[in-house]
Amino acid sequence: MIPFSDLKSQYLSIKGEIDAAVQRVLASGWFILGDEVRAFEEEFASYVGAAHGIGVGSGTEALQLALLACGVGPGDEVLSVSHTAVATVVAIELTGARPVFVDIDPRSYAMDPSQLEDKIGPATKAILPVHVYGQMADMDPILSIAHEHGLKVVEDAAQAHGAGYKGRRAGSLGDVGCFSFYPTKNLGAYGDGGLVVTSDSSLAEQVALLREYGWAERYVSSIKGLNSRLDELQAAILRVKLHHLEEWNAKRRRHAALYDELLRDATVVTPPHMEYGKHCYHIYAVRSKRRDELKAYLRERGVGALVHYPVPVHLQDAYADLGVVLGALPVTERCAEEVLTLPVAPELNEDQIRRVCGVIREFESEKDLVE
């Protein structure tokens, strides 16, 4: 089996460092919002290129708290995309706001800036681009439109740890950037976790208040807040992994380059390289008009291929109340029918990547013979 990800192998490769970090926390006797969290907040914010980092309980809560800190609430609208993990939309709705979907660019699979202006209305409060698969949305036009209309920009960088845009890292371009540390992310914890980054000190202060009951001092709430705290164990683990992130991302890029080379004249469409950015390949997403057949063929031969995402959020039953009908987002809907994600984790080796490509070639050869 060629797994989609191999977290056990990753752990074993840095076992000594991880075990020492865990033991350090256990010996300290302090488990919530202590020295490890403070250190990780500073280290990750510095890595991203932001002034402040605030550790929270999950990537979904990072988005929720960031939006709340930006003043988003009931009656407001937030422009985002339907081609994303449902968590993006969950976070918007948790603030009481309504998501409004913008179609995606057919090359980057991220928000299409040319579609934004038509979606802005009197209730629009923020724009939430998603750096899907590890490739950033085209931020300059998004930021320009936001500035023109007085809107906040919250980056969903849950899949973009270490991705770049014109020399800057994901999370550092908007008013706020939000990250998830779900275990399978490029930088993953051993449980849930998230972090908000910003260079706006007032927004940082607001997020810090919101994450812990609105406490400016213990047991005294200055505003109504929530309970969303990154714990010490996860922070200590993430501090270890942060030192390896660039190395792991480099391996992902090498795997992606090999896929690009071996699939150059295949019928599957390989991920484009946007001229403005640096992909971190959280996911290596190809497109195939026979996606479901190819996925089944790969899995029968031991290749852990997945689909991100099979049903756009606007077409899921839970979000029928938004009233976005089939055909409203044609690029999003076409991608949902064609995208297939191939294993690209740093723990894989070159032979495994070659094997995946070989199976794809076999599939295409068989289909040609049948036709």
pLDDT digits (tens, 9 = 90+) for 227-268: 999 999 999 999 999 999 999 999 999 999 999 999 999 999
Is the model's pLDDT at 73 over the cut of 60?
yes
Instruction: Convert the pLDDT of each residue in 313-352 to its tens digit.
Output: 999 999 999 999 999 999 999 999 999 999 999 999 999 9
- Supply the pLDDT for residue 351: 98
What per-residue confidence (pLDDT) applies to 347? 97
What is the C-alpha separation between 84 and 136, in angstroms, rounded? 13
Mean pLDDT computed over 24-41: 97
Write the DSSP string, 201-269.
Answer: HHHHHHHHHHHBTTEEETTEESS---B---BHHHHHHHHHHHTTHHHHHHHHHHHHHHHHHHTTTSSSB
- Matching CATH topology for 7-103+111-242 and 245-370? no
Predicted local distance difference test score (pLDDT) of residue 370: 53
CA pair distance 91, 63, nearest whole angstrom = 6
Backbone angles phi, psi at 304, to 5 degrees: -80, 70
Say what the pLDDT of residue 287 is.
Answer: 97
Q: Measuring CA to CA, how many Å separate 150 from each of 98, 127, 128, 143?
A: 18, 10, 14, 10
Residue 153 in this model has a pLDDT that exceeds 50: yes
Q: Give the domain ranges of the chain.
A: 7-103+111-242, 245-370
| Banded pLDDT at 225 (limits 50, 70, 90) | very high
Give yes or no for residue 74 having a pLDDT over 70: yes
Percent of the chain whose predicted confidence (pLDDT) is above 70: 99
Longest Cα–Cα distance of the chain, Å, equals 72
Confidence of residue 369 (pLDDT cuts 50, 70, 90): low
Angle at the Cα of 275 from the Cα atoms of 273 and 279, rounded to 5 degrees: 45
Q: Which helix (H) or strand (E) is 104 found in, with range? A: none
pLDDT at 331: 98
pLDDT tens readout for residues 267-299? 999 999 999 999 999 999 999 999 999 999 999
Between 3.30.420.130, 3.10.20.600, 2.130.10.30, 3.90.1150.10, what CATH number should domain 245-370 receive? 3.90.1150.10
Question: What residues are paired with 80 via a beta bridge?
Answer: 101
Q: Are 314 and 253 in contact (CB under 8 A)?
A: no
* pLDDT of the residue at 371: 46
pLDDT-above-90 percentage for the chain: 98
CATH number of 7-103+111-242: 3.40.640.10
Burial class (CB in 10 A: 0-12, 13-18, 19+), 44: buried
The position carrying tokens 């202590």 is 34
